[in-house]
């Protein structure tokens, strides 16, 4: 019988995430984001986090607005379809309250795969000829003050195997903790991602510690019956947290759709730091995941259940006008 890794979100975050860690969050923009774990990080007041964002969403925006993030390496942060750029993220960049540097989205994906392979850097061509190479968001001098950041954004080098061919060498992240949300997990940490996996398997393999929140926990015997459908073995996972609707308000493939109302409301709430702080105080602090779901309401959550044939909710209102009544 394998050792159970099942624990609460409070236990997992307290045990595996420390101030100043380099953290990555799974999912993609508004798909399968680990919102439940992000809220717990905020509740516990984690600070000074170095964040590898890739394609980031509202969970990252909440961590920034709550003052958890010291530096961020990302390609963008947006609740796609609801905000062009997440508002607390944008404010932090414009006001200089966090350090920030960016790579192209495909380069992030390549770098995460390199990290999973244990490589220190990956050679790419994707950013050559663009301003992503010409501009450094975090200077060499500033990077020297932060051991969690790579010393250089990149190195331009001639291909040693082909004269005249130029490569951009990008560092791979040394990830302390990865947080991902999955549909199904076993007590030993074996987990199954349905639908697009994005970078989740790579960051889970690369990280020193991985926290998995899940829609359901099944027995070890059950999840091993169809091993070809499993995404990660238990040896890659340190904590399994049962958090139904743990990706809300983003969607979770095969389970529930985007909560457009919540996403449009957050777009308004996050416009100012004052309204955002009130939101965190009322909806995150002094609460837990169960109370958060109670605030959304069972009827609204059930209405997000996807049609199994289509994979989404047919006829769901998604536009701002349709959802928010002409605001």
pLDDT (tens digit, 9 = 90+) per residue, 40-52? 999 999 999 999 9
Residue-wise pLDDT for 227-236, tens only, equals 999 999 999 9
**pLDDT tens track for 72-124:** 999 889 998 888 899 999 999 999 999 999 999 899 999 999 999 999 999 99
CA atoms within 13 A on the CB side of 294: 8
Rounded CA-CA distance 141/170 in Å is 18
- The pLDDT of residue 260 is 94
- Per DSSP, helices labelled H in 172-285 are 200-206, 220-224, 260-269, 273-283
pLDDT at 327: 52
How far the first Cα of the chain sits from its last, in Å, is: 56
User: What was the pLDDT predicted at 4?
Assistant: 95
Q: What percent of the chain has pLDDT over 70?
A: 99
pLDDT band at 317 (very low <50, low <70, confident <90, very high): confident
Q: What pLDDT is attached to residue 1?
A: 59
Q: Each residue of 168-204: pLDDT tens digit?
A: 999 999 999 999 999 999 999 999 999 999 999 999 9
DSSP 8-state symbol, 172 = P
What is the pLDDT at residue 308? Answer: 86
pLDDT of residue 14 exceeding 60: yes
**Which pLDDT score is estimated for 186?**
97
Please choose, from the candidates 73, 56, 86, the residue with its C-alpha nearest in 3D space to the C-alpha of residue 137. Answer: 73
**Mean pLDDT of all residues belonging to the chain:** 94
Q: What is the pTM of this model?
A: 0.95
Q: Hey, which residues does 166 pair with through a beta bridge?
A: 158
The phi, psi pair for 225, rounded to 5°, reads: -70, -25
Cβ contacts of 272 within 8 Å, gap of 6 or more: none
pLDDT above 70: residue 326? no
User: CA–CA separation, 262 vs 319, rounded Å?
Assistant: 12
Calculate mean pLDDT across residues 268-286. Answer: 95
- Looking at the chain, how many residues does it have? 327
């Amino acid at each position: 019988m394998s050792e159970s890794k099942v624990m609460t979100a409070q236990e997992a975050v307290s045990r595996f995430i420390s101030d100043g860690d380099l953290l990555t969050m799974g999912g993609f923009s508004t798909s399968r984001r680990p919102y439940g774990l992000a809220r717990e990080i905020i509740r516990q007041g984690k600070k000074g986090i170095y964040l590898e964002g890739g394609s980031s969403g509202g969970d990252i925006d909440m961590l920034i607005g709550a003052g958890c993030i010291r530096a961020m390496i990302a390609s963008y942060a947006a609740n796609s379809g609801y905000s062009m750029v997440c508002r607390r993220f944008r404010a932090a960049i414009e006001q200089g309250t966090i350090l920030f540097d960016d790579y192209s989205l495909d380069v992030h994906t390549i770098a995460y795969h390199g990290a999973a392979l244990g490589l220190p850097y990956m050679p790419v061509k994707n950013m050559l000829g663009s301003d992503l190479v010409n501009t450094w968001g975090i200077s060499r001098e500033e990077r020297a003050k932060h051991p969690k950041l790579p010393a250089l954004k990149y190195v331009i080098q001639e291909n040693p195997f082909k004269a005249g061919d130029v490569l951009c060498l990008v560092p791979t992240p040394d990830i302390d903790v990865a947080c991902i949300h999955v549909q199904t997990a076993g007590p030993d940490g074996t987990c199954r991602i349905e639908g697009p996996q994005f970078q989740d398997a790579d960051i889970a393999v690369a990280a020193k510690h991985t926290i998995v929140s899940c829609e359901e926990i099944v027995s070890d015997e059950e999840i091993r019956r169809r091993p070809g459908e499993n995404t990660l073995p238990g040896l890659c996972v340190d904590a399994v947290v049962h958090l139904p609707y743990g990706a809300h308000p983003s969607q979770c493939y095969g389970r529930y759709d985007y909560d457009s109302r919540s996403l449009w409301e957050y777009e308004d709430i996050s416009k100012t730091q004052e309204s955002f702080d009130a939101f965190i105080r009322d909806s995150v602090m002094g609460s837990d995941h169960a109370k958060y779901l109670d605030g959304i309401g069972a009827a609204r959550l059930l209405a997000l259940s996807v049609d199994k044939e289509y994979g989404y909710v047919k006829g769901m209102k998604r536009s701002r006008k349709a959802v928010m009544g002409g605001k």
